[in-house]
Structure 1
């Protein structure tokens, strides 16, 4: 639970510890049962979103106070900038003049990213390329932005970033082209700029005393001033305004993800895609659309995905925002928005209640990841995929002719995998009592969905893809005990009859080291059948150009006998590889060879380890083949 309140009154510097604030009531945030029940079912209406937002506002106020106090303990970190009390006083004046204007800056997503990152840096647990005084001086920039929004007269110095710009969070960026020499290196030439408002005009004075005047309507672009690009999506009477924050230095919270500047053409693409995605959400999931519009203030627009679905991410420090790569279709964007909004909601809930115990081991399988995950990570993925599954469930009923098959496939793919992840999560000890209740409510939502009918072809491909992913995950991340592998290999070499229960001592453990990832071409082909029919038609007419092994092509075409022969040969040639072993199991399952298929799909790491044990010694003799080994181990299970 976190407190709510206003900035402390501060004609003088605030005391070292937060005093009781003035303004609205100061007390603990309590989440009503109605709101918790909605969230535990994967949903949440607009009022629930407001409750989470109020709690996040309190969190931001505390972060801001902690930043001030940390800087006040060592004002030298500000260099030539004014003391933190000056920025704090301006923030207080802006809040008193216009509370909504102050909140717009306080709750801008990048404010949380900056404050959290600066506190880690001041405590010596993080480093950055940005000079410390520039990062600490962002407090002054926040104060300037809040005062501009509030219409308050003021004057304050702020850092110049990249040697040529001042970004005013939630508003836009002032550029000083040619004012300082620019080498192309971030923060190479920082300086100071003055920001002032007098008589309604806002001026930014550059380090060389040139001046940029902001327009009366800061949403308009003028020479030296570029507002944050924004789009307004409309569906009937419902609207969602969202900024595309492509210039905020604290907008991208994932290192290594560059944010290209939006061109007019790219901005039009975002507008068109958001219009389509918003219309889809308002029609199919109106409650979710309402709470999303209440919460999400901005998107950090990334470059388009080269292949597959666009990259997207959220951070608990960036409440109200998501980093999203430009998708190809409105449907892809709608899925990304649902996915990331689920993370945003859960992150806000976790600031109010503990659902997982800390420091869990990374041992759990998640059908959307290739690596082992801790319980907290699986819970995040489960919550996101309950939302995604719900989206596709609704889409099955509203998709236009020709698009419903994709919805059937995606719905079938995620419902059972997510339910299995919930069961695996509940079997661990990392959940708190409230966490167990929470996942039980998610299970109650998902379980009936797993009984709903899905067309046969879409269901079969979804099942194949899910089985393939889990078996590939086991080969990459688990290994059986060496003594059990040796015992089984010797027994098979002697052609001893398999004994029921012989595999009980061969329980696999998570690997200490991570094996290199291996691409499953058949998975890409199966996905393209439903997600990109044009691509599927292309490779189907030219299988030799798809890059996929012939066995993968045969499997996707349901030519199981040919696929089994191809995979058997691949295993003999590349026994250390993962994909041929799993493909062989999938082909044998298609042929009805249940025991061998079960061994290869449920325990592929054991089958491969036994085959590899002592090299060719285990593969000598008549009838020795990967299929016969899998059949033998399947009988011993």
Structure 2
């Protein structure tokens, strides 16, 4: 029996079915499908409400942590601000408390103005813009119906998005390839705009209507992209390119990040302006009606879409490819190319991509470039390498942004990808320790290999659980060899559940507890040593000690279910974070963790997090996008009387431990402070910033004890955010007393952080990258030096810092 894909986590919502440009390469209006002619121009409010409800229904049923919705067209800005606002409000309302919403809009840019940008800023809508390069390249296809150029209007839109106020809205540029355009000119024109990302798209074509292929080369599209790649490489990879990034990832055994490559199942559905569900828009290039499903938002749910034969055909991975593709040496990287590009009348989609020779040449070219680049990028290869053991390069712009103390969503996303690659390597190393004579470990390892091939996203989500790496390092370090089989089984069970596969996994229990990392725990009676877990559509079944227990995803959130305790998810305005109080391995901090919170305690945390997150977004907006992208779990710690309590574990990326303060401001400070440690730890996994052989001990103005260089580095980086917090609070805190306290704290923290940066700069053990990173920290600290502070606060700060240093010197002076 065919298994449906795990879930649909991406929805393209058509806001308007017409366009104000007449691009001659448009697959909506210029290719085989003509369904747009009979559709309403704009989506109705009723369809928006029904679509939002269907998405929420699906996300709840599949426990999706995040759903991406792209407002699209035609040209979506033609729908106007009021209807776009209604779409955003309906989606946020429906998904509140269900999952995070990644809301985006894709536009040709010609109508984008400040009114739209203010709306998108309010609703957190990120904006992607279509632009094919320099004016000559763009105007070859992207013109108005009367032939006028659209280029100047699009550049004005991009300039608007690059203003500091709107920069975080800018999602990137989409560029359709035309081999008649100069690839260097296209690259340089896009690079000059400093985009956060670029997508290069092959023009849609099929075997019935193949793409232009001028004489002289059998692979003109690969040749064009290879020229762009070389230019991009020579420019220091100034911006991420999704196509190149996907090839890099598949060459390392990871999943693709674009539908055009790789074997991952499609997880996208389109909602047209009449409320009908369709498959991916790219199918419009195959034949008239190709994307149609016969389903609509009023009568059908997204699970009905999952069962549509056309959708199922795109979930079989390598099994769905033709014989020529399955025998190809690069099939794991190419994945047969975009599904629509395989179409031929008579044989349907059972063909290689019409771009098959180009895809093979592109992959082989990039593999060759990377093999030449690898020695310079390997760990220890040199102080200027922006690449550590993970193999995931940190973009230069990301590095500078992080060095300044910040780091937006794109930078933190790339840190997270690097962390995932490290976790994959650790898992492979743990798998190498499996004893052939251990049937439990062997079965779990085989299932993980199968999941990696069939449902890589599910496995990767399981691997991002923050407490995977401490367990793996413990096994590899000989500190927990007896947990190898159990840990692999727990990971396999969690991945199988996320894939919604009907696998039965035998999982050893931890003192009667079935651990499902990142999902929750089941408390099983009877003293059994192991349990059998099987995923089902509503949840899962556990067989243990002669009992059969059925557990639903939504059960246990209120604490009333005796056996099942799921991880609670908190979501507010673009941030989803797990309140991790179930994992037995979460006890990785210097302070004890809280046990499972009662429902009242979870609600108190949710209330506190909502207020703290609102404060961070309003008062510390440069920290919010990175935190939303990278802070995935908060582990409640036991409060200490009279002291705020928080901590991080160096090997648990994405998690912080904290005791909940009574007020939102200190909670916001704890989160921003601790997430600095999380970011810097990930940077250090990519880059060598200082000599690890330095055995010196250094003065940290906030500690009583001498600190190793790494500890001083971490503390200084965290105190950049602490200083910034008090800098803002001195003008925005409630009441004069609180503002006066914040003024004094800012003055003191500014002096401490500046002194610590100077100590790092003079230590003599920084690499070239470390010097650049500390210089970035210093620039942020220096920008605060000229800010006026009340004389009494300044005098108090200087006195406090001087007294602390004098006492530290006396305490740590060498004994005669």
Same fold, judged at TM 0.5 (above): yes
Q: Give the one of 657, 676, 684 matched to 1:350.
A: 684
Question: Is the alpha carbon distance of 1:75 and 1:213 closer, same or farther for their aligned partners in structure 2, counting shifts above 3 Å?
Answer: same
Q: Secondary structure, in 3 states, of the residue corresponding to 2:477?
A: helix
| CA drift at 1:428 | 1.7
User: Does residue 283 in structure 1 map to residue 609 in structure 2?
Assistant: no
Give the TM-score normalised by the residue count of structure 1: 0.65
Deviation at 1:421, TM superposition (A): 1.2
Name the CA distance, whole Å, in 2 between partners of 1:338 and 1:452: 22
2:520–2:565: 8 Å Cα contact kept in structure 1?
yes
The more displaced of 271-280 and 192-201 is 192-201
Contact 1:231 1:242 in 2 (8 A): yes
* Count of aligned pairs between the two proteins: 443
Residue 5 of structure 1 aligns with which residue?
253
1:98 Cα offset (Å)? 4.1
1:140 correspondence with 2:489: yes
Q: Tell me, what secondary structure is at the counterpart of 1:317?
A: coil
Task: Report if the CA contact (8 A) 1:46-1:287 is conserved.
Answer: no
Map of 1:204 onto structure 2? 542
The question of 1:113 aligning with 2:461 is answered: no
2:669 to 335, 338, 363: 335
Contact 1:134 1:161 in 2 (8 A): no
**How does 1:267-346 map onto structure 2 within 5 Å?**
267-308=602-643, 310-346=644-680
Paired residues of 1:4 and 1:57 also in contact (CA < 8 A): no
Aligned counterparts, 1:41-52, within 5 A = 41-52=404-415
1:82 to 440, 456, 479: 440
Residue pairs, 1:607-618, within 5 angstroms: none
Is residue 430 from structure 1 mapped to residue 765 from structure 2 by the alignment? Answer: yes
Contact 2:617 2:624 in 1 (8 A): yes
CA distance in 1, matches of 2:622, 2:253: 29
Please show how residues 136-175 of structure 1 align to structure 2 within 5 Å.
Answer: 136-162=485-511, 164-175=512-523
Equivalent pair of 2:590/2:647 in contact (CA under 8 Å): no
Q: What TM-score, normalized to structure 2?
A: 0.51
SS in 1 for 2:756: helix
Deviation sequence 1:153-200 (CA, Å, 0-9, x none): 1112111102x11010111111114x12xxxxxxxxx71111123576
Q: 1:447 aligns with which of 774, 778, 782?
A: 782
**In 1: Cα distance, 2:797 partner to 2:600 partner:** 36
Would the alpha carbon gap of residues 332 and 368 (structure 1) be closer, same or farther in structure 2, given more than 3 Å must change? same
**Correspondence list, 1:17-28, <5 A:** 22=332, 28=391
Q: Which residue of 227, 230, 236 maps to 2:566?
A: 227
1:234-273 equivalences in 2 (<5 Å) = 234=572, 238-254=573-589, 257-273=592-608
CA distance in 2, matches of 1:446, 1:256: 31
Alpha-carbon displacement from aligned partner over 1:406-429 (angstroms, at most 9, x marks no partner): 321221111111111111222222
CA 1:451 to 1:342, structure 2 compared with 1: closer, same or farther past 3 Å?
same
The CA deviation at 1:291 is: 1.0
- Distance in 1 between residues matched to 2:503 and 2:751, nearest whole Å: 58
> 1:112 deviation in Å?
1.5
Match of 2:550 in 1: 213
In 2, distance between residues paired with 1:252 and 1:425?
32
For the residues of structure 1 that align with 2:785 and 2:677, how far apart are their CA atoms? 23
1:216: how far off? 5.0
| 2:703 equivalent in structure 1 | 369
C-alpha contact 1:154 1:198 (8 A) present in aligned 2: no
Q: 1:446 to 1:172 in 2, by over 3 A?
A: same
| Contact 1:118–1:136 (Cα < 8 Å) also in 2 | no
Q: Contact 2:634–2:658 at 8 Å: present in 1 too?
A: yes
Looking at structure 2, the residues matched to 93 and 384 of structure 1 have their Cα atoms a distance apart, in angstroms, of: 41
Give the corresponding residue for 2:220. Answer: none
> More helix per residue: 1 or 2?
1
Rounded Cα–Cα distance in structure 2 between residues aligned with 1:223 and 1:93: 33
Q: Give the structure with higher Rg (CA).
A: 1
* Displacement after TM superposition at 1:332 (Å): 1.1
CA RMSD of aligned residues (A): 2.9
Matched residue SS, 1:153: coil
Shift of 1:219: 7.3
Q: Is this contact kept in 1: 2:441–2:488, CA < 8 A?
A: no
Unaligned runs of 5+ in 1: 12-18, 181-189, 483-637
Change (3 A) 1:263 1:362: farther
